[in-house]
Chain A
Amino acid sequence: MSRITFATVWFGGCSGCHMSLLDLDTWLLDLASMVELVYGPLADRKTFPDGVDLTLVEGAIANLEHLELAREIRRKTRVLVALGDCAVTGNVTALRNLAGDPSGLLQQIYLERGDPPLAVPEAPGIVPRLIERVTPLHAVVPVDHFLPGCPPSAPRIRATLEALLAGAEPPEIGRFG
């Protein structure tokens, strides 16, 4: 049986959703027999490959790199899943929207409240620029399935993956938070 290609992505989030995925412990060995991990924080690869069957995205869209990569991933992925509240709702990551313009926020953090005051980090091509407003993943690309939770519990992630791998509809309704 040929394994499907599988990717995970870490955008504006705390990595808790990936931790929850790792909490699947030994089932990860079963997963490994069904999928080939081709991209993500748990794989050593710089660019997102073509023709990925299933991608889980953790985190909200917070900077230009997220935005561009999200679009690229959508083009190259058959089934896209928003993993966890940051990807589904913006969650804590989106709380910075309340502070308005990101440049003001950076000023505040690095200059006004920096102790000692530092410079606002600016490294074109290395540190991606923050976008105006943090949004959920589905605000920038169409998403096929939503897996809420902060983080989604390991059993929920497993139930979703099992359903998707079996070609069935995942149990979509889950609790936020």
Chain B
Amino acid sequence: MDLAELHATAERERARRKAIRVLCCTSSGCQASRSLELFHQLEAAVTATGQDEAVEVASVGCMGFCGQGPMVRVEPADLLFERVRPEQAAEIIAALAGEPCSVERGDPNHPFFARQVHVVRRNGGFIDPERIEEYIAAGGYEALYRVLHDFTPAEVIQEITRSGLRGRGGAGYPTGLKWATVAKSPGERKFVVCNGDEGDPGAFMDRSILESDPHLVLEGMAIAAYAVGAHEGYIFVRGEYPLAIQRLTRAINQARKLGLLGSQIFETAFDFKVEIRVGAGAFVCGEETALIASIEGRRSQPRPRPPYPAEKGLWGFPTLINNVETFANIAPIIEHGADWYASIGTEKSTGTKVFALTGKVRNTGLIEVPMGMTLREIVEDLGGGSPDGTPVKAVQTGGPSGGCIPARLFDTPVDYESLAAAGSIMGSGGMVVMDAHTSMVQIAQFYMAFCMDESCGKCVPCRVGTVQMYRLLSKVVAGAATPADLEQLEQLCRLVRETSLCGLGQSAPNPVLSTLRYFREEYEALLREEAAAGANGTP
């Protein structure tokens, strides 16, 4: 494969396309609402009406408006259909010929779509993720070609550094700096690892990217491998994402066949092979040292850092670990340049971020917005506010490691620093909206139950501290806790945050701390005043 062949492939794909394309989302969310059946019904309807010449039905990835799924888009007319049932397939196909149609119509100019900026989700809902030709026709693998031919590894790192991209897994570590560290770490072998162990409750950004555009992630990994001097890569995907695994597997095979992965990529000396590792269900595998242990075939428990994986990672070799969304940003940055990327978002948090917007909000689904957009814009403009008029009370970001931000702080811009200052974190992109009926204590209890179940058990404060915190929260919820219990809860928050071994434990108290910070009155209203109760004794 060389550039001419790549372009020829794109050309063939464009020539193959029919005048009208009916795009049906077959991502996990829409599949759960029978979109696979819908897809087959659409194909059948096209054939039945003799429109095979002019109309094709394509299975595509996520369009984002998951709450309104299954979604069907018709190109080039830019018609959008929502909540489509398989029985309505014929009606949609008939509508192409001008027949009246009662299927719920979506508005492509709805703020939910119009306010988004698509960088990593640019192909989502437009291409068939199971056909590499479609990715190539959308300009795919050109960035990799350019990097291999026109860039030195140092120049790639420089470009990524200048773009200001920061880790999308949640912590926001500068990606360029991480790459530079791996590149400079001495080692006869190096690895690139993609962390696809997305586990936060309510988060499905990475699943959507992997299901909708797997090649974008593979291309980003290959560019990263070239930059840091690695020839082997692993994608760690959680076992609960079978469709993502299936599509990734197919994507890897297709890319290998075309010489876009494997040996002598684009007829250069650069080799890069990628393997998938499937997680077995432990949330802690999202922690990079635990993830490494799992890939190595050991029990996935984190180990203290330093040494960081950039120095000592897989089997002791320098290893670059980035999240799915981080890798998905790489090819666009190379294509359009660091300055373009840095012009999106804010000064310190450049680019876009994908969020899974869920909870008590009218429009739920995946959104990709420029960094710096305020929570208010996201909740009210894109999300459409409360579905039933109950005032929105707070937004939870960052999952079990994050916190709740109250409505009065909704003018907070969504960037790494502002969210941290508000007592939460960017996190991987879960965004759960809560209304006045939501008990913040129960929210804290829910997340603590999650951390308790997912604690690996290696270090004492996380293993036992989360259980004790959960019991205290349950006591508060049951109305049986005393002020001394609340005091003990806060003491445990400090302990677990300051002494736990890894990020899971260190951040496990965050949902409690942030709800205590903004909604302390909800805790206090549930307390029982009883002087006689020792509440486990004198402190």
A and B touch in the complex (CB under 8 A): yes
Hey, which bits of chain A sit against chain B, CB under 8 A?
71, 74-75, 136, 138-144
Whether B420 sits at the interface, judged by CB under 8 Å, is: no
Complex: chain B residue closest to A72, CB-CB: B532
Does B538 lie within 8 Å of A143, measured CB to CB? yes
Whether B101 sits at the interface, judged by CB under 8 Å, is: no
Tell me, in angstroms, the Cα distance from A57 to B225 when the chains sit together.
Answer: 69
From the candidates A71, A75, A138, A140, name the one contacting B538 in the complex (CB within 8 A): A138
Tell me, in angstroms, the Cα distance from A140 to B535 when the chains sit together.
Answer: 7
Complex: chain B residue closest to A74, CB-CB: B532
Whether B389 sits at the interface, judged by CB under 8 Å, is: no
**Contacts of B533 on A, CB cut-off 8 Å?**
140-141
**Contacts of A139 on B, CB cut-off 8 Å?**
534, 536-537
**Contacts of B532 on A, CB cut-off 8 Å?**
71, 74-75, 141
Tell me, in angstroms, the Cα distance from A136 to B537 when the chains sit together.
Answer: 9
Does B538 lie within 8 Å of A144, measured CB to CB? yes
Tell me, in angstroms, the Cα distance from A21 to B533 when the chains sit together.
Answer: 29
Hey, which bits of chain B sit against chain A, CB under 8 A?
532-534, 536-538
List the 9 shortest-distance A-B pairs measured between CB atoms, nearest first.
Answer: A138-B537, A142-B534, A141-B534, A142-B538, A138-B534, A139-B536, A71-B532, A143-B537, A140-B534
- Starting from the known contacts A138-B536, A141-B534, A142-B534, 17 additional A-B residue pairs (CB-CB under 8 Å) come to A71-B532, A74-B532, A74-B534, A136-B537, A138-B534, A138-B537, A138-B538, A139-B534, A139-B536, A139-B537, A140-B533, A140-B534, A141-B532, A141-B533, A143-B534, A143-B537, A144-B538
Tell me, in angstroms, the Cα distance from A139 to B534 when the chains sit together.
Answer: 6
Tell me, in angstroms, the Cα distance from A142 to B532 when the chains sit together.
Answer: 8
Complex: chain A residue closest to B532, CB-CB: A71
**Contacts of A138 on B, CB cut-off 8 Å?**
534, 536-538
- A sample of 18 cross-chain residue pairs with beta-carbon separation below 8 angstroms, ordered by A number, consists of A71-B532, A74-B532, A74-B534, A75-B532, A136-B537, A138-B534, A138-B537, A138-B538, A139-B536, A139-B537, A140-B534, A141-B532, A141-B533, A141-B534, A142-B538, A143-B534, A143-B538, A144-B538
Tell me, in angstroms, the Cα distance from A144 to B537 when the chains sit together.
Answer: 9
The distance from the CB of B529 to the nearest CB of chain A, in whole angstroms, is 15
**Contacts of A74 on B, CB cut-off 8 Å?**
532, 534
**Contacts of A75 on B, CB cut-off 8 Å?**
532
The distance from the CB of A70 to the nearest CB of chain B, in whole angstroms, is 9
Tell me, in angstroms, the Cα distance from A74 to B532 when the chains sit together.
Answer: 8
Complex: chain B residue closest to A145, CB-CB: B538
Tell me, in angstroms, the Cα distance from A143 to B532 when the chains sit together.
Answer: 11
Complex: chain A residue closest to B536, CB-CB: A139
Tell me, in angstroms, the Cα distance from A138 to B537 when the chains sit together.
Answer: 4
